[in-house]
C-alpha cells in the first residue's frame, strides 16, 4: 500500500506543473461557463427568447469576423513559447509578432464589417450590437492566453478572468430588467473583458518584462506564412461551428436560435473540461510524443467522453428545465445529439496536439478540419432541402365544455391562471358547473398540416359526452383529471373506457384522434404534390 502511495506521489511530483496547468485551464473554462449559466436563466427570461436569440445570432456572426483577427497565430506562438519558456528575447519577439499581426487584421476586419453592414438589412439594423461585440477581439489581442499557457502560468489568467466575470453578475441583475435592455446587456458582457485585457497587457509588460520589438515586413510575412495552416484549421472549424447558428437564424427564427444556444451550453461545459486535457498536456508532451504515450492518452479520453455523454442523456432534461424553463424543452434532444461531439473533439484534439503539430504536419490539421466542414455543410444543405419538402403536422387536444363557452380547451393545467393539480382541476370544474343544467362537453383533437408550398390546413376530430356531477374515483389516473368526469351517454360508459376498447367492439364508434388522423391522411393524398 505504501509503495502504491509513493508511486502516485512520485508521479504527481513529476507532473506537478502539468496538473497545475490543467487545473487552472479547466477551472478557467468551466468557471466562465458556470458563471454564464448563473446569468443565463435570468437573461433568457428577462430579455425573452427573441431578444436573447438576436444576441446569440449577432455574437455568432462576430465570431466569423474574429476569424480574420486571430488568423491562427496562437498555436505556433504557443509552441515557440513552450520550447523557450526562459528566453526573454524570444518571448518578446514572439509577443510583438503576434500583437502587430493581430492589430493589422483587426483593422481590416472592422473595415469589412462596416462595408458589409451597408448591404445586409439585419446587420445594418443591429450594427451597434455588432460593433460592441466586435470589441471583444481587442481582448484576443491584449490578453495573450497562449503566452501564459506556454510558460505554464495559467493561474494569473484564471484569477483575472474570474474577477472580471464575477463582476458582471451583479451589474446584469441590477441594470438588465426588460427586452429593451439588450444593448445594455451586450455592453456589460463585452466591455468588462476588455478591462481585463488591458490589465493583462500591462502585467505582460511590467511583471513579465516583455519588450515590444519592431518587426520587419519580412518577419511579418514569415509570421503569416507559419500561421496560415492554423488559419485554415481555425477557419474550417469556426465556419462549421457557427454556420449552424447562422442556418437556424436565417431559415427559422431567433427563438430557435435561443433553443439551440441552450443545447450548446449543456454540451460546452463538459466538452471544454475534457478538451482542456490536451491543452494542459501540450507544453509537457510536445517534446516527447511517443506512439504508446498518445495511445494511452486517447484510451483514457475515450472512457471520459463516454461517461459524460451518458450523464448528459440522463440529466440533460432536468438541466434544461432549470436553466430555460418548460418553453425551452426542445433543447434537450439537441443537447443529447450534440454530446457526441465531446468524443470527437477529444480524439481530434489529441491527434492535432500530439501527432500533427510535433511532427510539423500542419497540412494534416487543416485537411482534417476541411473535411469536417465540407461534410457538415453538405449534410446541412441536404437537410434543408429535405426539410423544405416535408409535411409538418402539429397536434393538440382538450376538453371543451359548452356551458363554459368552450373552456378549458388546451389550457386545462393552468385553467385558473396557475399550475393546478389533478384534484384542483376536478374541483374547479365542478364548482364552475354548479347549478348549470347543461353539462354537455366534447373532447376535441386538432391537427394542423403545413404543406411544403406554405399552405396550411386545420382538421378537427370530436367526441361528445357530458360532465358528471360527481367524479368517479375508480376511473382516476394521475395526469388525466377529466378521466373521472367525462361520460359518453351514447355508449353508457366513461370516455376512457371507450378508448380502452378495441376498435371492433365499439360498434363503429370512432375516437376524435382517429377521425382527425383519417381526415389528415385523406387531405394529404388529395393536396400534396411533391
Residues annotated catalytic, as ranges: 396
3-state secondary structure of 40: helix
Rounded Cα distance between 58 and 230, Å, is: 25
Instruction: At 14, list the grid cell.
Output: 513529476
Q: Which residue has the cell 376535441?
A: 444
Secondary-structure percent of the chain, ordered helix, strand, coil, rounded to 5: 75, 10, 20
Cα–Cα distance between 69 and 85 in angstroms, integer?
A: 25
- C-alpha grid cell, residue 333: 434532444
| Pairs from 497-500 (Cβ < 8 Å, separation ≥ 24) | 498/463
Q: Is the distance from CB of 213 to CB of 93 less than 8 angstroms?
A: yes
CA-to-CA distance for 234 and 370, rounded, in angstroms? 10
CA-to-CA distance for 337 and 316, rounded, in angstroms? 11
Q: Coil, strand or helix: which one is 207?
A: coil
CA dist 288 and 109 (Å) reads: 38
Q: What per-residue string of b and e applies to 477-514 under the rule 16 or more CB within 10 Å gives b?
A: eeeebbbbbbbbeeeeebbbebeeeeeeeeeeeebbbe
Other residues' Cβ atoms within 10 Å of the Cβ of residue 171: 15
Cβ-proximal residues to 417 (8 Å cutoff; 6+ apart), any chain? none
The distance in angstroms from the start CA to the end CA of the chain is 72
Greatest alpha-carbon pair distance for the chain in Å reads: 94
Instruction: Give the Cα separation of 449 and 459 in Å (integer).
Output: 8
| Beta strands in 130-224, from DSSP E residues, in sequence order | none
Q: Which residues of 77-94 are buried (b: 16+ CB within 10 A; e: fewer)?
A: bbbbbbeeeeeeeebbbb
Q: Which helix (H) or strand (E) holds 448?
A: strand 440-450
Helix (H), strand (E) at residue 400 = strand 392-401
The angle that helices 217-251 and 88-117 make with each other, rounded to 10 degrees, is 40
* DSSP output for 70-139: HTT-HHHHHHHHHH-TT-HHHHHHHHHHHHHHHHHHHHHHHHHHHHHHTT-HHHHHTHHHHHHHHTHHHH
Amino acid at each position: 500500500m505504501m509503495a502504491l502511495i509513493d508511486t502516485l506521489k512520485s508521479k504527481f511530483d513529476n507532473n506537478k506543473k502539468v496538473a497545475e496547468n490543467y487545473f487552472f485551464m479547466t477551472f478557467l473554462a468551466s468557471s466562465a461557463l458556470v458563471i454564464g449559466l448563473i446569468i443565463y436563466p435570468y437573461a433568457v427570461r428577462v430579455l425573452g427568447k427573441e431578444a436573447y436569440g438576436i444576441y446569440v445570432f449577432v455574437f455568432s456572426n462576430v465570431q466569423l469576423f474574429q476569424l480574420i483577427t486571430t488568423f491562427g497565430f496562437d498555436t505556433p506562438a504557443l509552441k515557440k513559447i513552450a520550447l523557450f519558456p526562459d528566453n526573454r528575447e524570444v518571448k518578446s519577439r514572439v509577443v510583438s509578432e503576434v500583437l502587430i499581426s493581430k492589430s493589422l487584421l483587426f483593422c481590416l476586419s472592422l473595415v469589412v464589417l462596416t462595408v458589409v453592414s451597408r448591404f445586409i438589412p439585419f446587420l445594418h439594423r443591429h450594427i451597434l450590437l455588432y460593433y460592441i461585440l466586435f470589441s471583444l477581439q481587442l481582448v484576443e489581442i491584449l490578453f495573450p492566453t497562449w503566452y501564459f499557457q506556454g510558460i505554464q502560468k495559467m493561474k494569473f489568467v484564471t484569477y483575472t478572468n474570474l474577477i472580471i466575470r464575477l463582476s458582471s453578475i451583479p451589474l446584469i441583475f441590477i441594470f438588465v430588467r426588460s427586452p429593451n435592455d439588450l444593448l445594455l446587456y451586450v455592453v456589460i458582457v463585452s466591455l468588462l473583458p476588455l478591462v481585463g485585457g488591458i490589465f493583462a497587457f500591462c502585467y505582460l509588460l511590467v511583471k513579465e518584462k516583455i519588450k515590444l520589438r519592431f518587426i520587419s515586413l519580412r518577419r511579418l510575412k514569415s509570421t503569416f506564412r507559419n500561421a496560415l495552416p492554423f488559419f485554415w484549421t481555425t477557419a474550417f472549424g469556426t465556419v462549421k461551428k457557427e454556420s449552424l447558428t447562422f442556418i437556424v437564424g436565417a431559415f427559422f427564427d431567433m427563438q430557435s436560435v435561443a433553443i439551440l444556444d441552450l443545447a450548446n451550453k449543456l454540451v460546452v461545459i463538459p466538452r471544454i473540461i475534457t478538451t482542456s486535457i490536451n491543452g494542459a498536456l501540450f507544453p509537457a508532451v510536445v517534446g516527447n510524443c511517443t506512439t504508446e504515450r498518445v495511445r494511452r492518452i486517447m484510451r483514457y479520453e475515450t472512457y471520459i467522453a463516454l461517461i459524460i455523454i451518458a450523464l448528459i442523456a440522463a440529466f440533460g432534461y432536468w438541466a434544461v428545465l432549470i436553466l430555460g424553463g418548460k418553453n425551452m424543452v426542445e433543447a434537450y434532444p439537441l443537447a443529447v445529439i450534440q454530446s457526441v461531439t465531446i468524443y470527437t473533439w477529444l480524439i481530434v484534439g489529441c491527434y492535432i496536439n500530439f501527432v500533427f503539430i510535433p511532427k510539423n504536419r500542419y497540412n494534416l490539421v487543416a485537411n482534417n478540419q476541411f473535411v469536417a466542414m465540407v461534410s457538415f455543410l453538405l449534410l446541412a444543405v441536404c437537410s434543408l432541402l429535405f426539410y423544405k419538402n416535408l409535411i409538418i403536422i402539429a397536434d393538440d387536444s382538450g376538453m371543451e365544455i359548452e356551458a363554459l363557452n368552450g373552456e378549458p380547451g388546451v389550457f386545462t393545467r393552468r385553467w385558473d391562471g396557475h399550475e393546478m393539480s389533478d384534484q384542483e382541476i376536478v374541483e374547479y370544474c365542478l364548482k364552475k358547473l354548479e347549478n348549470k343544467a347543461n353539462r354537455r362537453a366534447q373532447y376535441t383533437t386538432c391537427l394542423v398540416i403545413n404543406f411544403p408550398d406554405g399552405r396550411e390546413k386545420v382538421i378537427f376530430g370530436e367526441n361528445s359526452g357530458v360532465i358528471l356531477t360527481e367524479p368517479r374515483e375508480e376511473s382516476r389516473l394521475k395526469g388525466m383529471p377529466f378521466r373521472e368526469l367525462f361520460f359518453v351517454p351514447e355508449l353508457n360508459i366513461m370516455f376512457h373506457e371507450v378508448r380502452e376498447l378495441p376498435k371492433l367492439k365499439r360498434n363503429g364508434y370512432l375516437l376524435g384522434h382517429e377521425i382527425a388522423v383519417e381526415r389528415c391522411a385523406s387531405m394529404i393524398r388529395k393536396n400534396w404534390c411533391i
